[in-house]
Chains A and B, each alone.
Chain A
Amino acid sequence: MTMINLLRTDFMKQKGGFIWLFLLIIPLGTTAAMFLDMYLRYEDYLYQKVQQQGTTSWHLLLGENHFVLGWGAFLPVFVAVIAALVHHVEFKQQSWKSLLSLPVPRGSVFISKFFMILLFSSLLIMLNTLGLVLVGKLSGFPEGFTFEFYSSYVLYQFLGILGVAALHNWLSSCFKNAVYPVVIAFVGMIATSIVRLSFPEKVKFIPYSYAYYADGLKENDPMVALYGGLIAGILILVFGIIEFKKRDIV
């Protein structure tokens, strides 16, 4: 019951918040970019590529989104922004102290924030994918829409961000200044790209990398997103709860 009430109040606290604008702007941007990509390059170039590779336009569009636009690499940063916004409401007017003076278990407060980050991140992921569907339909792809492929893309992204969501749930609860955890995520994203190029076998130990494996194309194995996300998510969440329960709220 407490958990449901916490989720309810956490949701209420986002009323009219920047998070909604963020959830609107980012998918709008990716959709517009993909639309432009298809509008400019599909008929002359990309469709030929599809035929050469023996794949479908839908697969190609997903790859454009994930690799060319860089959604797979940027998604963890977006999750970090969401986490920062979810926590910022408690820092703005020093609400942590009054929230944690209420008869609610501290662990539940922390988990509720984690769920909020997951909820908003899922919305972001789904809106991005819905945008792709829209672009494909508007561009008049000759092949039929492959629902399974796109829904598994959504699912693996969701699993792939669990580690980042847990990490940034904790990081965002530590910093009063919401910019710091976002900067950390940005640096993390760049570092992950470097490690991916230089030490491909090591990159699987970095939580920022898992969403990148969600595409199911090329040589990427979505199982990395699944196991990486789940294991990192659980480990970091448990660590976060233990630390948060002991923390002095000064």
Chain B
Amino acid sequence: MSDYLIETNQLTKKFGNFKAVDSIDLKVKKGSIYGFLGPNGAGKSTTIRMLLGLIQPTSGRVNLFGKPLKSNRIPILKRVGSMVEYPSYYGHLTAYENLNTTRILLGLEAKEIDKVLEIVRLTEVKNKAVKKFSMGMKQRLGIANALLGNPELLILDEPTNGLDPSGIHEIRDLIKSLPKKMGITVLVSSHILSEIDLLATDVGIITKGKLVFQGSLEELHQRGKSQIAIEANPVEDAAAHLINNGFQPEIEGETIYLQVGEAGPAVLNKELVMNGFAVNKLAVERKTLEDIFLEVTKEGATA
């Protein structure tokens, strides 16, 4: 059996002529928190809906737990908990009654409800109608609903959507604790990069329906190589001088960029000053994850 809990093969969904999801090979390792990242409308929700069998793929395959979803939908879904986009609930029913409808359909014992209510800390308001809940409470109820039946895989689509900072923090801590506490593998989607950065162990970036990056969070960070930025006068002559001395600078406007490995800042500074150039600025710049993200999604868009 493969090590991947979720594995898709050339997964594609077309709506008319529009390719919402284009040949995606998603690979989610057991025990990981997989951050599924992409701008709004990139195809995250469509992909997730295909993982849950809500949408039929136009082509390609979905395997969950090493088995094709198409022919094993019911046994697979028994092992999956999910919350797709905004939490769905029956507003006129209480939190307990909402969970009870899911519990009955999963064939679980009543005490399971109290267990998940405890995890998301809604025990005290369990007899309150859900329409009176705050957004954060509804979101937590959605997660409680997804946790019913001890799923091995949890799929959460934008679980922090519409939450205030403290709510986001709370949900994040909750999700982070799940793999350790309960041995659950989590796939969580978001359009907010910092969210995924704080949460995930692995990342997949989707843009315009294409998966443009997939790997560990570390690998993504490593893409952000440092560079040295120099502002020296006159800029053209300074760059020419560096080239003559065996460096490979790039000029962008008034700034000269060099890769960090080429030479230390001190060496470069001395080289330029000793040869009569006025160095106005010299800095080591590191690309933020934001820059990498923009770069990766831009690459994907033009590809």
Contact = CB atoms under 8 A, between A and B. Distances in A.
A54 interface: no
B52 A101 contact: yes
A105 interface: yes
Interface stretch (B90-98, B200-208, B253-261): B90-98
Contacts of B53: 100-101
A137 interface: no
A15 B104 CA distance: 16
A250 B88 CA distance: 13
Given A5-B104, A5-B105, A15 B75 contact: no
B104 A9 contact: yes
B56 A248 contact: yes
A16 B91 CA distance: 11
Contacts of B88: 93-99
Nearest to A95: B88
Interface residues of B, number: 36
Most buried by A among B76, B77, B87, B92: B92
Given A98-B145, A250-B55, A103 B78 contact: yes
Contacts of B101: 9, 12-13
Interface residues of A, number: 30
A17 interface: yes
Contacts of A102: 77, 102, 105-106
A21 to B, nearest CB: 13
B65 interface: no
B90 A93 contact: yes
B74 interface: yes
Contacts of B86: 93-94
A95 B49 contact: no
Contacts of B52: 97, 101
Contacts of A1: 107
Contacts of A99: 88
Interface string A85-127: 0000100111111111111110000000000000000000000
Contacts of A97: 49, 52, 54, 84-85, 88
Contacts of B145: 98
Contacts of B75: 103
A246 B55 CA distance: 9
Given A98-B84, A103-B77, A249-B55, A12 B49 contact: no
Nearest to B145: A98
Interface in B66-80: 73-78, 80
B92 A16 contact: yes
Most buried by B among A17, A98, A99: A98
B93 A101 contact: no
23 contacts: A1-B107, A5-B107, A6-B105, A9-B104, A9-B105, A13-B90, A15-B92, A89-B90, A93-B87, A94-B85, A94-B86, A95-B90, A97-B54, A98-B142, A101-B77, A102-B106, A103-B73, A103-B75, A103-B76, A103-B105, A105-B74, A249-B55, A250-B55
3 smallest CB-CB distances across A and B, nearest first, come from: A103-B77, A95-B88, A249-B54
Given A97-B84, A101-B54, 4 more contacts: A13-B90, A13-B101, A96-B88, A250-B55
Interface of B: 46, 49, 52-56, 73-78, 80, 82-93, 97, 100-102, 104-107, 142, 145
